[in-house]
Amino acid sequence: MSASTALLTDRYELTMVDAALRDGTAHRPSVFELFGRRLPGARRFGVVAGTGRLLSHLREFRFGDDELKFLRDERVVSDETLAYLADFRFTGTITGYREGELYFPGSPILTVEGTFAEAVILETLALSILNHDSAVANAAARMSVAAGDRPLAEMGSRRAAEQSAIAAARAAYIAGFGATSNLEAGRTWGIPTMGTAAHSWTLLHETEEDAFRSQIDALGLDTTLLIDTYDIRQGVETAIRVAGTGLGGVRIDSGDLPTVAAAVREQLDALGATGTKITVTSDLDEFAIAALAASPVDAYGVGTSVVTGSGAPTAGMVYKLVARQAQDGSWVSVAKASTDKSSKGGRKAAFRTLDAGTATHELILVADGFEAVPAVAGRAEARALQVTYVEHGEIDAAFEGTGGVADARAHHARVREELPVRALALSRSDPAIPTVYEDVEG
């Protein structure tokens, strides 16, 4: 199978390139922007995720013999365009919000500058990665807020496509989860992995006691025993009888979790296992986690809801042309004006204004021209939000791989501290801070 990522796209991108090569506009300098018009699910903030993956996919965005043969056989584009694609290399510049950064409606999450042909061709690749990964990160961040200091593990691989599961584990880790059950995500992205046994392990053995003894023999006393295959109260009694009071943990995967967790904690303490931790799973989402805040729970395992965005499976981002060079060489801001789908033209620079360390506004400076918009001046606190990912075709490798993931996770933890208290509520609402545009001379 080809390693190329060039056909991870929609046909109309190549037909636009084909037509642009015919009419002479393909090499017209252009600026595209990836942003969200609104936050999905009326949430109060969003989390950027997937940028490092996009950069790695961009490295492999090449049209090899197999890709060109397919396009030729399907008559997707002309021979002239096939010749152009055979030599395609992105030579433009990409700037954007750091991975792990918070975003709000209108935030210029990614800015792609280059010729029309080389920038438009990246639309589907960029959107498919950032829309999926940011949706997962949005959900994961809300769950992390609800969990507080209690650790979260992602365990949703069986509820997603195989490659999506790996990407979801990465996004959840960036947004506050501490581990994943997915081994490939652990190998590829350096995420701690976790997992012990499922109900089938207990059902395999003649008795629950046999299953527990065998697991402890194999994994040691620090393991976590799944106690709800049969009767939970009996499961706790058997677990401590087999393992002793030094058992690492028990897991509950069913029942009315607040009630069951309280009963299990009381029973463990009565048996002397005061240090045995309780992990709960069972179709958790941010609301269920919040409902368990007062319960004696030590850790959470989350599956379906995190890998599917917990009700918002896409971040709803779009990729639009915002500026282009005119025939006379001047720059023109362009924007879509459709009802409910309008956009803001012009090249942009983004800043987060702060008051005593707390975010107050998403400030977007907009230039009509192409030159970089100026830095924010005369403001006590304003944090620049954009970094350079690709400069004249050269990708900054610091944002890729395990190092990029670790940095994104640390950055997210830092910037989430800037959110006002109202941003941490789980109810539907307006964005936690407003987006403010200021026009400047470019």
List Cβ neighbours of 284 (8 Å cut-off, separation of 6 or more).
Answer: 143, 300, 301, 302, 303, 305
Q: How far is CA 257 from CA 152, 154, 253, 262, 294, in A?
A: 16, 18, 8, 8, 12
Residue 427 per-residue DSSP state: S
| Sheet hosting strand 331-333, strand order edge to edge | 331-333, 317-325, 29-36, 110-115, 93-97, 386-391, 394-395
What's the CA dihedral at 114, 371, 439, 429 to 10 degrees? Answer: 40
Nearest to 84 by CA among 28, 7, 31, 20: 20
Distance, in Å, from the CA atom of 107 to the CA atom of 104, rounded to the nearest integer, reads 6
**β-pairing, 382-384 with 347-355?**
antiparallel
List Cβ neighbours of 65 (8 Å cut-off, separation of 6 or more).
Answer: none
CB 75 within 8 Å of CB 374: no
Mean pLDDT by 10 residues, the chain (442 residues): 88 98 97 97 97 98 98 98 98 98 98 98 98 98 98 97 98 98 98 97 98 98 98 98 98 97 98 98 96 98 98 97 94 86 89 96 85 56 95 98 98 98 96 95 62
CB 419 within 8 Å of CB 359: yes
For 182, half-sphere exposure in the C-beta direction (CA atoms, 13 angstrom radius) is: 31
State the pLDDT at residue 1.
45
State the pLDDT at residue 441.
72
Helices (H) and strands (E) in the chain, counts: 15, 19
- Map residue 154 onto helix, strand or coil: strand
- In the chain, the domains with their CATH numbers are 11-136+312-440 (3.20.140.10), 145-307 (3.20.20.70)
State the pLDDT at residue 342.
74
Distance, in Å, from the CA atom of 255 to the CA atom of 227, rounded to the nearest integer, reads 12
CB 273 within 8 Å of CB 127: no
The residue type at 304 = T
State the pLDDT at residue 369.
59
SS3 content of the chain, % helix, strand, coil (to 5): 40, 20, 40
What's the token pair of residue 277? 């931790």
Paired with 388 in beta bridges are 95
List Cβ neighbours of 428 (8 Å cut-off, separation of 6 or more).
Answer: 41, 42, 43
The residue type at 291 = A
State the pLDDT at residue 341.
73
* Cα first-last separation, the chain: 46
Annotate 339-408 with DSSP letters as a single string: TT-----SEEEEEEEEETTEEEEEEEEEESSSSPPPPP-S-S-EEE-EEEEEETTEE-GGGSHHHHHHHH
Block residue for tokens 């999905």: 40
Exposed, middle or buried: residue 138 (CB in 10 Å: 0-12, 13-18, 19+)? buried
State the pLDDT at residue 372.
54
**How far is C-alpha 316 from the geometric centre of its chain's CA atoms?**
13
